[in-house]
């Protein structure tokens, strides 16, 4: 509930895996203040889908459930090989089904060995088939989104998008963190950038925007895009929207700018909509492509 008080209109929890896991040893998160960037190698530390489900049920019973939509982010359990990934994702989806409004399949974290290989067509289509089966079994339609890596080539991303369009994926999240690094500007950032893991925050913004533009160019609004990566101000938020994002999301900016960043972005977007002569925010989505 604190999230909606900050100005968020939706929230996401996770990454959740089928089995409990400790994640990588600490330290596993590094700051690069001069870059407004983080490097993390958390590795999906979480108590596993069944325990999370229990905790969510108890939150609901205590009336601590947000009034705004909630997404669940699902990752592959570290101990499960890619050959069995489809079952692993589908089981977690099944366990969490009643406890989220939409689901994000995360096949793009750099912190689980081999996870990004799941973006290959064969693995990905078997994951999508298994998750679609769970959805059919549930008899209700909740959106299933796929989260992309910024480190794939444009051609690979387009291939993935085309598979999404033909497999009933309801939306695309662009993007996860990158394994690329900018040139360090300080001893602190040199240390952060020398760690394994995914980089988020300001230096990710330009590639994330490229991916949003690329995906929108291909999908033309057929399925929504969630824009994420280095969004930290009304300008970066607006750019993500006119590039094609129907929803936006941020993480690192909360760490560097504090919670007021959310309401300042929300206010900023509202005035940009007015100033640009749009009658609603949805008119601005993808406007750059017209
Ligand atoms: C500490 C940390 C943990 C994260 N864990 C996950 C995760 O479990 N699943 C996921 O899809 N993305 C995860 N991300 C990536 C973010 O959701 C987001 O895609 C990325 O940080 C880029 O956005 P930002 O620049 O606003 O931080 C994590 C990021 C950070 C910094």
Nearest residue CA, atom 18 of ligand 1? 176
200 lines ligand 1 (CB under 6 A): yes
Select from 224, 244, 239 the least CA-distant residue to 272. 239
226: domain CATH number is 3.20.20.70
Assign 66 a pLDDT band (cuts: 50, 70, 90): very high
Q: Which ligand 1 atom is nearest residue 204's CA? A: 25
Concerning whether 109 is annotated as a catalytic residue, the answer is yes
Q: Which of 200, 245, 253 to mutate to test the pocket of ligand 1 (most atoms within 8 A of CB)?
A: 200
Place of tokens 């360090």: 184
Assign 1 a pLDDT band (cuts: 50, 70, 90): low
The residues pairing with 200 across neighbouring beta strands, listed in sequence order, are 38
Domain count, the chain: 1
Q: Kindly list the strands in the beta sheet with 70-74, ordered across the sheet, starting from the edge strand earlier in the chain.
A: 11-16, 70-74, 102-106, 144-148, 171-174, 225-228, 245-249
What 3-state class would DSSP assign to 68?
A: coil
- pLDDT digits 0-9 by tens, 234-283: 999 999 999 999 999 999 999 999 999 999 999 999 999 999 999 999 99
Q: Kindly list the strands in the beta sheet with 37-40, ordered across the sheet, starting from the edge strand earlier in the chain.
A: 29-32, 37-40, 198-201
A 10 A CB-CB count for 44 gives: 25
Q: Which ligand 1 atom is nearest residue 232's CA? A: 26
- pLDDT digits 0-9 by tens, 197-235: 999 999 999 999 999 999 999 999 999 999 999 999 999
227 lines ligand 1 (CB under 6 A): no
Out of 91, 108, 109, 130, the active site residue is 109
92 lines ligand 1 (CB under 6 A): no
Q: What is the mean pLDDT of residues 13-40?
A: 98
Identify whether the C-beta of residue 31 lies closer than 8 Å to the C-beta of residue 255. yes
Identify whether the C-beta of residue 253 lies closer than 8 Å to the C-beta of residue 202. no
- pLDDT digits 0-9 by tens, 143-162: 999 999 999 999 999 999 99
Nearest residue CA, atom 1 of ligand 1? 40
What 3-state class would DSSP assign to 40?
A: strand
Q: Which pLDDT value is given to residue 34?
A: 98
Identify whether the C-beta of residue 32 lies closer than 8 Å to the C-beta of residue 62. no
Q: Which of 24, 212, 251 to mutate to test the pocket of ligand 1 (most atoms within 8 A of CB)?
A: 251
Ligand 1 center from residue 199 Cα (angstroms): 9
Considering the entire predicted model, what is its pTM? 0.98
- pLDDT digits 0-9 by tens, 120-151: 999 999 999 999 999 999 998 999 999 999 99
246 lines ligand 1 (CB under 6 A): no
Place of tokens 């998750």: 131
Q: Which of 71, 147, 198, 202 to mutate to test the pocket of ligand 1 (most atoms within 8 A of CB)?
A: 198
A 10 A CB-CB count for 154 gives: 11
110 lines ligand 1 (CB under 6 A): no
Q: What is the mean pLDDT of residues 183-191?
A: 98
73 lines ligand 1 (CB under 6 A): yes
Mean pLDDT, the chain, integer: 97
Structural domain span for residue 56: 2-289
């Amino acid at each position: 509930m604190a999230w909606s008080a900050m100005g968020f209109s939706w929230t996401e929890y996770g990454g959740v895996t089928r089995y409990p896991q400790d994640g990588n040893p600490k330290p596993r998160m590094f700051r690069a203040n001069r870059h407004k960037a983080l490097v993390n190698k958390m590795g999906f530390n979480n108590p596993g889908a069944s325990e999370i489900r229990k905790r969510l049920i108890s939150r609901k019973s205590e009336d601590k459930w947000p009034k705004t939509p909630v997404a669940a982010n699902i990752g592959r359990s570290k101990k499960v090989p890619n050959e069995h990934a489809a079952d692993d994702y589908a089981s977690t989806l099944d366990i969490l089904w009643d406890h989220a409004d939409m689901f994000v399949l995360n096949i793009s974290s750099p912190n689980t060995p081999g996870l990004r290989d799941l973006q290959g067509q064969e693995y990905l289509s078997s994951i999508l088939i298994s998750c679609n089966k769970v959805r059919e079994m549930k008899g209700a339609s909740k959106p299933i989104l796929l989260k992309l890596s910024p480190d794939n080539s444009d051609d690979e991303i387009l291939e993935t998008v085309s598979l999404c369009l033909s497999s009933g994926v309801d939306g695309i999240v662009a993007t996860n963190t990158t394994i690329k690094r900018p040139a360090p500007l300080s001893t602190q950032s040199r240390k952060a950038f020398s760690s394994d893991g995914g980089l988020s925050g300001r230096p990710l913004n330009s590639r994330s925007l490229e991916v949003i533009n690329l995906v929108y160019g291909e999908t033309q609004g057929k399925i929504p895009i969630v824009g994420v990566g280095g969004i930290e101000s009304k300008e970066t938020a607006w750019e993500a929207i006119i590039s094609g994002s129907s929803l936006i999301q941020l993480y690192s900016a909360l760490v560097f700018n504090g919670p007021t960043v959310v309401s300042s972005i929300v206010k900023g977007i509202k005035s940009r909509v007015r100033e640009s002569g749009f009658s609603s925010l949805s008119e601005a989505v993808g406007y750059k492509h017209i």
